[in-house]
Amino acid sequence: MNALGRHILVEFTGCNADVLNDVSAIEKSMIQAAQVAGATVISSNFHHFSPWGVSGVVVIQESHLAIHTWPEYRYASVDLFTCGETVDPWVSFEHLKQALEATYSAIELNRGALNIIKKSDYKPTNVRDSSNPIDTKNFKIARNVWFTDKDDMQALSLRYTGDVLFDEKTDFQQVRVFDTLAYGKMLAINNMVMCTERDEFHYHEMIVHPVAQLSKNLKNVLVIGGGDGGTIRELFKYSSIEKVTMVEIDEAVVNASKKHLPTLNTEFSNPKLNLIIGDGIEHVRNAKAGTYDLVIVDGSDPVGPAEGLFTKAFYADCARVLTDDGMLVTQGESPMFHTNTFVELNHCLKDIFGIQKVHTMLFHATTYPSGMWSLMMASKKTISPKTDIDTAKTASFVKQKNLKYYNEELHSASFCLPNFVKTLLEK
């Protein structure tokens, strides 16, 4: 070869779109493509951009392989650059063509043509020699793979190992569990973070305890969604509860938790739990009036099967199935990230329960986009949520149950809203 390197530029078209949108599959194929060609892989760095697309590079001792994917066009742009004679980039090309199930067009360029560049007498000072060899036996590839939860304008990214522990595409959604580096295992639905082992207690304590501490008669509870088990774990801390009916639409969420989320899945065999795999919207539509003391809507974001959990018809049914002093709490999205949904849901609840009977809470959700999340509480009777608790009793409950987020001070504070949020919610 009369050049320093060979550079193949490839247009992969007609690819398998699912593969193009799967960051760990792409990373794996790119690493394998390097290895089958005889390259020594040094590191990989891959990002997924929700909802679509992956970008990444595999750095090899002989240069690099890079990819950018557009699943919506079934297209990937790839460049394979190798230096020296030992690695044949066309072997990598062949591997990727099969992995992406692609047709292609490609050109090869010689880089650093030796008839136009000349070697200088530059001598590096830190050359490895036989007294300081590379430890190829214990060599580990440094992987840098990121999961991103985003809309068109904002994002939250978490780094994970690159391996997906659970991955099921169900009739409803894609359910996955990732092993993140900073937050433990993470459950994601359709590329949106549902919970992580490290910070799920913020959400699960706040969706249960403020409303439970305000409830006068907590016996019969309905949970819509909640398949990861975090909400029922908190609910069963109340000995007054006689029955919890949980209606989760997607069994895969329960299975993912049972397999991979040991700190969340603790109550699935509680005899007071009636777990129904089915449609929560239909369940409340068919339930008898005045059945439940508390309804908790622990759903996903309003895309896919959770969309119906953000409608007037659904909340009107929820109000109907509550007892006379019953209460409801629902996850209300983020005032910063999903402003419209946040406001619309609040106004919808006010239309059904009455303006004075809907109370908004904010809390820190460190792994949800924007980090600021809301819960909306509605009651059949008029209440003063900041003060209607027995502070000493709440404090003792918090201590006894060793809660990590909620406490008697935070109870009142979580109903205090920033001015911009008050303005958003004015009706």
Query: Is the separation of the CB atoms in 313 and 239 below 8 Å?
Result: no
**Residue 230 binding ligand SPD, by CB under 6 A:** yes
Q: With binding defined as CB under 6 A, does residue 362 bind ligand SPD?
A: no
Q: How far apart are the C-alpha atoms of 281 and 317, rounded to whole Å?
A: 8
Closest among 256, 233, 254, 258 to 244, alpha carbons compared: 233
> What are the contacts of 336-339 at 24+ separation with CB within 8 A?
336/370, 336/372, 337/151, 337/154, 337/368, 337/369, 337/370, 337/372, 338/301, 338/302, 339/424
Q: Does 190 bind ligand SPD (CB under 6 A)?
A: no
CB of 161 to ligand SPD, least distance (A): 22
Should residue 293 be labelled a site residue for ligand SPD when binding is judged by CB under 6 A? no
Minimum CB–partner distance for residue 193 and ligand SPD (Å):
6
Q: Give the strands of the sheet with 358-364, arranged side by side.
A: 273-277, 243-248, 220-225, 292-298, 322-331, 372-379, 358-364
- List the beta strands (DSSP E) in 251-400: 273-277, 292-298, 322-331, 358-364, 372-379
Q: Identify which range of 2-10, 91-99, 126-134, 223-231 contacts ligand SPD by CB under 6 A.
A: 223-231
Q: Which is nearer to ligand SPD, 82 or 257 (CB)?
A: 257
| Rg (the chain; Cα; Å) | 27
Q: Which of 343, 303, 102 is nearest to 191 (CA)?
A: 303
Residue 39 vs 194, nearer CB to ligand SPD: 194
Closer to ligand SPD by CB, 79 or 250: give it: 250
> Which of 79, 298, 301, 317 is labelled catalytic?
298
> Is 300 a binder of ligand SPD (CB under 6 A)?
yes
CB of 71 to ligand SPD, least distance (A): 22
Q: How far is 157 from 259, CA to CA, in rounded Å?
A: 24
Distance of closest approach, residue 333 Cβ to ligand SPD, in angstroms: 7
Rounded least distance, CB 186 to ligand SPD, Å: 11
Identity of residue 11: E
Who contacts 242 (Cβ-Cβ below 8 Å, separation ≥6)? 219, 220, 272
Angle at 263 between CA 261 and CA 265, to 5 degrees: 65
298 annotated active-site: yes
73: three-class secondary structure by DSSP: helix
- Residue 392 host element (H or E): helix 391-400
Tokens of 193: 């973070």
Choice from 29, 44, 50, 331 touching ligand SPD (CB under 6 A): 331
Contact letters for ligand SPD, residues 197-216 (x by CB under 6 A) = ------x-------------
Cα–Cα distance list, 422 to 343, 362, 426, 427 (Å): 10, 12, 6, 10
Closest distance to ligand SPD from the beta carbon of 370 (Å): 10
Determine which residue in the list 145, 192, 273, 375 makes contact with ligand SPD, applying CB under 6 A: 192
* 275: contact with ligand SPD by CB under 6 A: no
Smallest separation (angstroms) from ligand SPD to the CB of 229: 8
Cα separation, 38 vs 34, in Å, equals 7
As measured in angstroms, the least distance from the Cβ of 338 to ligand SPD is 8
User: DSSP secondary-structure letter at 88?
Assistant: -
Choices 6-14, 75-83, 134-142, 187-195; region in contact with ligand SPD by CB under 6 A: 187-195
- Position among 10, 83, 96, 194 found at the interface with ligand SPD (CB under 6 A): 194
- Which of 53, 71, 210, 226 is the binder for ligand SPD (CB under 6 A)? 226
3-class secondary-structure state, position 236: coil
Applying CB under 6 A, what is the total number of residues that bind ligand SPD?
A: 14
Three-state DSSP state, 138: coil
Q: What is the number of residues in the chain?
A: 427
Of 20-28, 124-132, 225-233, 410-418, the segment contacting ligand SPD by CB under 6 A is: 225-233
C-beta of 202: minimal distance to ligand SPD in Å?
11
Decide whether 203 or 363 has the Cβ nearer to ligand SPD: 203
Binding mask 366-385 toward ligand SPD (x if CB under 6 A, else -) reads: --x-----------------
Complex with ligand SPD: residue 12 or 373, whichever CB lies closer: 373
Q: By CB under 6 A, is residue 298 in contact with ligand SPD?
A: yes
With CB under 6 A as the contact rule, the residue among 27, 197, 205, 301 that binds ligand SPD is 301
Catalytic machinery residues:
298
Binding site residues, ligand SPD, CB under 6 A: 192-195, 203, 226, 228, 230-231, 298, 300-301, 331, 368
